[in-house]
Amino acid sequence: MGSVDFTWLIGGPQGSGVDSGANVFSKVCAEMGYHIFGKREFYSNIKGEHSYFAVRVSDQEIRSNVNDVTLMASFDAETIFRHFDEVSSGGGIIYDSDLDKITTDEVHTLDNYFKERLHQELESKNKPFTIAGVLEIAKEKGVHLYPVSFREILSNLAEKTENPKLRGLIRMFNVLAVSLSLGLIKMPLDPLLLSIDSIFSKKPQIAEINKQAADFSYDYAKSNFNTFQYSLTGTTKQPDTILVQGHFGTSIGKMVSGCRFQSYYPITPASDESVYLESNELLEIQNDRPGSTIVIQTEDEISAMGMMIGAALTGTRSSTSTSGPGFALMTEALGWAGINEVPIVITLYQRSGPSTGLPTRHGQDDLLFAVNAGHGDFPKIVYASGDIEESFYDTGRCFNYADVYQIPVIHMMDKFLSSSVVTCKRFDPKKISIDRGLLLDKIDGEYRRFAFTEDGISPRSRLGLDNGVFWNTGDESDEFGHITEDPQVRIKMMDKRMSRLDLVIKRVPQEEQVVSFGIYDLTIISWGSTKGPILDALSMLKKEGIDVGFIQIKLIHPFPSEHVKSLLKDAKTIIDIEANHSGQLGKIFKQNVTREIDYFILKYTGRGMTSTEIYDSLKKIVENKANKREVLSHGA
């Protein structure tokens, strides 16, 4: 990495403004030209449980988090208990000095499993089970401690501004934590003040109070603490950079791709996308009247799927966004879309299963499920994006695949992507093309929706089109779409539909199927959001003169067997990296490429992989010290 590689972590109870604090911090850093990779972790809870946000800042391109935290800004005890040991030597912890005597037992949201592990550590180091105890450990490791009495700041501020109400405003603790951090690392305060203005644009009085608090604590940190060796003074700004939330890639991608109907049922972590689409439902169209996206919140995922199919039959580009449990409910209708050759896009934001699993945590658990979803044999495409920027362009591809091949497309995303905040190159809508395949605008003469054709794809009418009357049915059907149980027609129809899988492999450009980042003796295969941490780990290894190859498989079903086989012909050792228990891509790989995976690097704690973890495991493999299954576990 470059000269600046800094990780800032903020934590606190859910609902206390951890997110907005982190968003402001990210924005400030991004405005100063830094690359940002931020990650949000939270419980399935509305208020009270521990949530945190780690923002990594660098002057080089970064695509992942690392294990070490440089500066932790905390305003509650739990954050200190859970994260003190992540702060590296030379790093710092800003904390509320009023919390010094708090014991682990006084923090009700600390679960017993965690407490037991922490007590063991404290006991072994002869420390009390208090904040003071854990901070001593940090100090001995070389971490700088920056105690601040948050209440004292508020009462000083109250006195100074003659506003006694300020004394009790603990809701401003997040603002204090951010401004203390900015003061400590000598960053400008103005962007924070601007953000406060925009967050509280309808409550100018509250904005004013927050700004005073920010100002005060910023100065406090600047004048009282000068032992911190890190400062972020800015770097050359990259042109055309945007700061995006995880779901922006697919949602803005949907607008640009012409998706005009989205039905959904609320589910973490997918619904942010639908809510964003609805918030931006009015669309500007070049040289035309305004357009719109109709976003419908349905009664369940079954309805979301049915409505989307109904809308798609009218020729509208239609989509839904869901997560594992919701997708499970959609599978019956997925088969209906399959047998009726309906182009639809399902954006599948995976989380940890099985069942409700870890509902707000990350997992790449649903690959095999997506590939095999639905009863009976029917063609579909499963396509996976590796990062947020990629997901914008991939959304365009998914709609084209759906239209051109007239099949359902499942676009694999996940919680790691959805709760990241990153800087990336501004999305370029001109790089998205729109290909509606054989969708008809006009029909003369007799029409057969499922006419047998040379390549198995029939010209497609749409509900309401003049002279385009057709029938659909979930039963096997003839060319008109009427029910048939004739064995010969059955063979032809099954062959017609299934031949599409070969067509996809043949016609989709190979660079859209698999992306190769180099092939070496040791080569990684992976898919989806592991891309970022893998690439960062590879550049760490490269600095040590170690070359490891990597192919990112994007088209997972149908599987590009021959292409993958030939790409890997010179690789001696294959390493599969995935965020699930069973190495699901590895299974698909083995089945299609008929080759064994040599090593698995897997993580299923529900927390995303860091590049540090991947680097460590690859190092073990290089040094011949690794197990066949390396299981990762970093992260609170």
Partner 1 sequence: MALKLADYKTDVHNDWCPGCGDFGIVNALQMALAEMGIERDKATIFSGIGCSGKTSHFINTYGVHTLHGRVLTFAQGGKLANPEMTVVAVGGDGDGLGIGAGHFVAAGRRNVDMTYIIFDNGVYGLTKGQASPTLKLGEKTKSLPSPNTNYNVNPIGLAVASGFTFVARGYSYDVRHLKDLIVKAVRHKGLSFLDVLQPCPTYNDINTRDWYAGVDLAQESIERHARIYKLEDPHFDPTVHYDDDTEVNEKISQAMIKSLEWGNKIPIGIFYQNELISQYSTRLTDKIPNYLENPPAKQTISENGLPTTDVSAILDSLRV
According to CB under 8 A, which residues from 218 to 237 bind partner 1? 237
Rule CB under 8 A: say whether 398 interacts with partner 1: no
201, 290, 625, 633: residue in contact with partner 1 (rule CB under 8 A): 290
Rule CB under 8 A: say whether 283 interacts with partner 1: yes
Segment 249-268, which members bind partner 1 (CB under 8 A)? 252, 255-258, 260-261, 263
Rule CB under 8 A: say whether 336 interacts with partner 1: yes
Rule CB under 8 A: say whether 287 interacts with partner 1: yes
Q: Which is nearer to partner 1, 43 or 480 (CB)?
A: 480
Rg (CA), the chain: 27
Region of residue 625 (phi > 0: left; psi between -120 and 50: alpha; otherwise: beta): alpha
* C-beta atoms surrounding 140 within 10 Å: 11
103, 109, 241, 331: residue in contact with partner 1 (rule CB under 8 A): 241
CA–CA gap between residue 24 and residue 425 (Å, rounded): 20
Rule CB under 8 A: say whether 441 interacts with partner 1: no
How near is the Cβ of 374 to partner 1 at its closest, in Å?
Answer: 12
How near is the Cβ of 468 to partner 1 at its closest, in Å?
Answer: 6
H-type helices in 313-413, by residue range? 324-339, 367-372, 388-405
8 A C-beta contact, residue 401 and residue 335: no
With contacts defined by CB under 8 A, name the span among 40-48, 78-86, 238-246, 363-371 that binds partner 1. 238-246
How near is the Cβ of 470 to partner 1 at its closest, in Å?
Answer: 7
Q: Which is nearer to partner 1, 244 or 597 (CB)?
A: 244
Rule CB under 8 A: say whether 146 interacts with partner 1: no
Give the SS3 label for residue 256. helix
Q: What are phi and psi of 559, to 5 degrees?
A: -85, 130
Q: What are phi and psi of 577, to 5 degrees?
A: -120, 120
Give the SS3 label for residue 172. helix
How near is the Cβ of 382 to partner 1 at its closest, in Å?
Answer: 22
14, 104, 174, 423: residue in contact with partner 1 (rule CB under 8 A): 423
How near is the Cβ of 295 to partner 1 at its closest, in Å?
Answer: 10
Structure tokens at 419: 């709760």
171, 375, 426, 629: residue in contact with partner 1 (rule CB under 8 A): 426
309, 381, 493, 504: residue in contact with partner 1 (rule CB under 8 A): 309
Structure tokens at 7: 């990780």
Q: Name which of 36, 33, 35 is nearest 53 in CA terms.
A: 36
Output the DSSP codes for 116-170.
Answer: HHHHHHHHHTT--SBHHHHHHHHHHHT-EEEEE-HHHHHHHHHHHHT-GGGGG-G
Q: Name which of 358, 426, 352 is nearest 579 in CA terms.
A: 352
Output the DSSP codes for 89-122.
Answer: EEEEEEEEGGGTT-BGGG-TTS-HHHHHHHHHHH
162, 284, 544, 596: residue in contact with partner 1 (rule CB under 8 A): 284
79, 250, 303, 530: residue in contact with partner 1 (rule CB under 8 A): 303
Segment 480-509, which members bind partner 1 (CB under 8 A)? 481-483
Rule CB under 8 A: say whether 288 interacts with partner 1: yes
Rule CB under 8 A: say whether 317 interacts with partner 1: yes
Sign of CA dihedral 71, 75, 76, 77: positive
Q: Which is nearer to partner 1, 313 or 358 (CB)?
A: 313
89, 120, 224, 292: residue in contact with partner 1 (rule CB under 8 A): 292
Segment 6-35, which members bind partner 1 (CB under 8 A)? 27, 30-31
How near is the Cβ of 426 to partner 1 at its closest, in Å?
Answer: 6
Segment 452-481, which members bind partner 1 (CB under 8 A)? 462-475, 481
How near is the Cβ of 169 to partner 1 at its closest, in Å?
Answer: 30
Element (H, E) at 490: helix 487-507
Rule CB under 8 A: say whether 553 interacts with partner 1: no
